[in-house]
Chains A and B, each alone.
Chain A
Amino acid sequence: MKKRITRRVFIASTILAGTALALLPQGAKTPIFIEPFKVIGIVQDTLFPKGLKAPSASEFGATAYLANVSTHSSFWADDLKFLAYGAELLMEYENGFLTMNVEDRDKVLRDFTNNSEKGESWVSLVLFYTIEALLGDPIYDGNRDKIGWKWLGHNEGKPQPQKPFGELM
């Protein structure tokens, strides 16, 4: 059966990373907790927006993919920590990021990568997993309806996996 990410697992993975974000915007009296994956999802749509023919990160399921694969034992724990940490850094860099329009978000990300080595590494990592989601097998919840393969005219290898992560039958 196809492995599906549940909301419970999704949240668990963010807790595993140990960095639910506590933000204290100007004027606020209590911290607001923002899940790193929410930040990452908006960054992914900024990095991979809807193009003339290209699907957007939300369309191909970039965040759902990441939430799914990051719960598997094969996912690099350091990457998970760094993904969450970077989301926190970005929010510290620009706490209005989540409510900005696409152009302004893009500008913030370019400044963020130009001004911070960690920022560049983080955006590179988010983009790396976004590309995995675009072109990995749909069994992992990305590349929905083979949309990434179809866009680039790529023919998938056969057989496709019946089970994720090379699990034995």
Chain B
Amino acid sequence: MKYDVCIVGSGAGASGVAYVLANAGKKVMMLERGEFYHEKEFSKDEVAYCKRDIVTPNLKESYHTIEDLDNGKWVKTPTYVNESSFFNGNIVGGSSNFMSGYFHRLKPVDFKLKSTYGEIKGANIADWAIGYDELEPYYEKVERLVGVSGEVTPYEWHEPRSTKEFPYPPLDEHPISKLIDKSCKKLNIIAYKTPRAILSKSKEGRDSCYYSNYCGSYGCSSGAKGSARASLLQPALKTGNLTIITNAFVKKLAEKNAKVTEAIYVDTKTKQEHTIQASIFVVAGQAVESCRLLLNSKSKNFPNGLANNSNQVGKNLLFSAGGVGTGQFDADNMPIEELMVEGLFVNRSICDWYEIEDDNKKIKGGIIDFLFEHANPISKASKERWQDGKLVWGEELQDRLLKKFNTKQLNFEVFNDWLPTDNCFVSVDEKYKDIYGVPVANIRIGSHPHDIKVGKILARKAEKVMIEMGAKDVIWGISSYPPPNLQAGGCRFGDDPKTSVLNENCQAHEVSNLFITDGSFMPTGGSVTYTWTIYANSFRVGDIILELP
């Protein structure tokens, strides 16, 4: 059978296209590397979901090489050496199953970073091929279909909206949010309610949030979290037009006459190879793996990989720059019974410094989110076995654990642009292959020093809020190490085939029936998590494919 569309991957970038096309009557085949987990199969098992490779490939089967600077030389280290996986949720719905759902739109200025703030030496900044206005209707669609809860308040940094309110009211808040508000007011800072891709009231087939206290890193047992699976794929399956094959690792896209003819995949259970034919192919396997698939899909017409005759595939990979700060709260800050309430959300963000001044020049800043340390008891306790670089055990460790579990840790997370540079890219190397004999992705993780500078400016602002709140032991760190779960870029879109892989429709310049709809298309990432934008763009491309002749 030849399908209308074959989609590689099943996360946020894949699901929007699948939803649109399946509902329009197109026959859609989706190939997902992992299993299909349903709500009833998720649990709050920290050992399984946070401490082992259960929902990502075993690193002995597949891995990445991380290319980092070591004494002035770029050195590749396979991720199995230090157990640092760059895979993120390889099950139906992808990593959206395990997100915390802090949802931010990009702001209009993020679509024209270069023309607004100018070039930065050593960075390959480019304006987007579309503007905010073109994406706004799709941001709104995500609010309705994926489900975003929040509150619109008058604020200069809120993005322009086509609707007055969020379709779902804000989630219930922890008492500490009032302390954040009070402290920010005193400092003349505006803290607003963070929009979340979590349902505050039920929606067809999905229950509202039950405040489990275990959200990020865990699958949602009520369907409240706006995972691609719960919000879009399960409804799309009901149309009868979407088929999902699980345990299907796509190793190559075959090409003829500059068109993809079939996807070749391995059934990871049986190790047998199969093919899927379709008129249109959509790749959305998360930025790194999407680039890897194209680079490994070599043919006579494309000796450097599919759609890569300009050698742009894999280039200008993005992560999210920034870091984390922490502060401790106890009975000195508020009544202990209020402080220790579990499950309720902090839900406060600050973007007063989305644009900042540096050397009398306006530069792009970023955003700060506040949240509690995850409930995970093993992770919390494990850190306590070290003090000042020395191992602690026995009664001393037991005392430290008792103290830790009677304290609440508030975190702030800083997000700012990860500037695209020549030293952050995906490549493949015949020397490193997975168990299927396919070269793994090498990720060079160089970053621009500007990212650290901006991150530190923001962290110092957030630190002031923590101190005003009365937090103890406030510490923070801004790192140039990439967060593996926040990937974008690598197949940027643009008008010029020499400097971009995709056109403004996320269609490959060189291969007319190939579209890429995960975060790979983004030339710059904005200063927020990418998921809302990836969902929105996926809906947009779904509409574009529908209109194809």
**Nearest chain A CB to B78's CB is how many angstroms away?**
13
Contact B48 A166 (CB under 8 A): yes
Q: Is B401 an interface residue (CB 8 A)?
A: yes
**Nearest chain A CB to B211's CB is how many angstroms away?**
10
Contact A135 B381 (CB under 8 A): yes
The residue in chain A whose Cβ has the minimal distance to the Cβ of B47 is A136
Contact B398 A51 (CB under 8 A): yes
The residue in chain B whose Cβ has the minimal distance to the Cβ of A54 is B398
B405: chain A residues at CB < 8 Å are 152-154
Q: Mark B42-57, 1 if CB is under 8 A from A, else 0.
A: 1111111101111100
A46 to B42, CA, bound (A): 36
Q: Is B244 an interface residue (CB 8 A)?
A: no
Interface stretch of the complex, out of A14-22, A84-92, A93-101, A124-132:
A124-132
A32 to B182, CA, bound (A): 68
A162: chain B residues at CB < 8 Å are 43
> Would you list the 4 A-B pairs with minimal beta carbon distance, nearest first?
A157-B44, A157-B214, A74-B52, A161-B43
Point out which of A120, A131, A155 has the most chain B C-beta atoms below 10 A from its C-beta. A131
Q: Mark A141-154, 1 if CB is under 8 A from B, else 0.
A: 00000001100111
Q: Is A62 an interface residue (CB 8 A)?
A: no
Q: Is B213 an interface residue (CB 8 A)?
A: yes
Contact A168 B45 (CB under 8 A): no
A-B contact count (CB 8 A): 117
A51 to B44, CA, bound (A): 28
Q: Is B218 an interface residue (CB 8 A)?
A: yes
Enumerate chain B interface residues (CB-CB to A < 8 A): 35, 37, 40-49, 51-55, 58, 60, 83, 212-214, 218, 221, 342, 375, 377-378, 381-382, 385-386, 391, 393-395, 397-398, 401-402, 405-406
Contact B391 A124 (CB under 8 A): yes
Contact B48 A161 (CB under 8 A): yes
Contact A127 B393 (CB under 8 A): yes
Contact B45 A149 (CB under 8 A): no
A48 to B393, CA, bound (A): 7
A148 to B382, CA, bound (A): 14
Q: Is A80 an interface residue (CB 8 A)?
A: no
Contact A123 B391 (CB under 8 A): yes
Contact B342 A155 (CB under 8 A): yes
Q: Is A42 an interface residue (CB 8 A)?
A: no
15 contacts between A and B (CB under 8 A): A46-B393, A51-B395, A51-B398, A76-B83, A106-B394, A120-B391, A127-B385, A131-B378, A132-B382, A155-B342, A158-B44, A159-B44, A160-B44, A161-B45, A169-B40
A113: chain B residues at CB < 8 Å are 391
Known: A127-B391, A155-B342. A168 touches B52 (CB 8 A): no
**Nearest chain B CB to A138's CB is how many angstroms away?**
11
Contact B377 A149 (CB under 8 A): yes
Point out which of A47, A153, A160, A161 has the most chain B C-beta atoms below 10 A from its C-beta. A161
Q: Is A165 an interface residue (CB 8 A)?
A: yes
Specify which of B37, B377, B397, B406 is in contact with A135 (CB 8 Å cutoff). B377
Q: Is A139 an interface residue (CB 8 A)?
A: yes
Q: Is A115 an interface residue (CB 8 A)?
A: no
B213: chain A residues at CB < 8 Å are 155, 157
Specify which of A48, A156, A161 is in contact with B397 (CB 8 Å cutoff). A48
The residue in chain B whose Cβ has the minimal distance to the Cβ of A73 is B58
Specify which of B46, B60, B375 is in contact with A136 (CB 8 Å cutoff). B46
Given contacts A157-B43, A165-B48, A169-B40, 12 further A-B contacts (CB under 8 A): A47-B394, A48-B394, A49-B395, A69-B47, A74-B58, A120-B391, A134-B381, A137-B45, A148-B377, A159-B44, A161-B45, A162-B43
**Nearest chain A CB to B119's CB is how many angstroms away?**
45
A9 to B401, CA, bound (A): 32
**Nearest chain A CB to B310's CB is how many angstroms away?**
41
The residue in chain A whose Cβ has the minimal distance to the Cβ of B384 is A131
A152 to B406, CA, bound (A): 8
A124 to B46, CA, bound (A): 20
B377: chain A residues at CB < 8 Å are 135, 148-149, 152, 154
Known: A51-B398, A137-B45, A169-B40. A131 touches B53 (CB 8 A): no
A155: chain B residues at CB < 8 Å are 213, 342
Specify which of A131, A156, A157, A160 is in contact with B381 (CB 8 Å cutoff). A131
A140 to B45, CA, bound (A): 10
Contact B48 A164 (CB under 8 A): yes
**Nearest chain A CB to B543's CB is how many angstroms away?**
35
Known: A51-B398, A162-B43, A169-B40. A128 touches B48 (CB 8 A): no
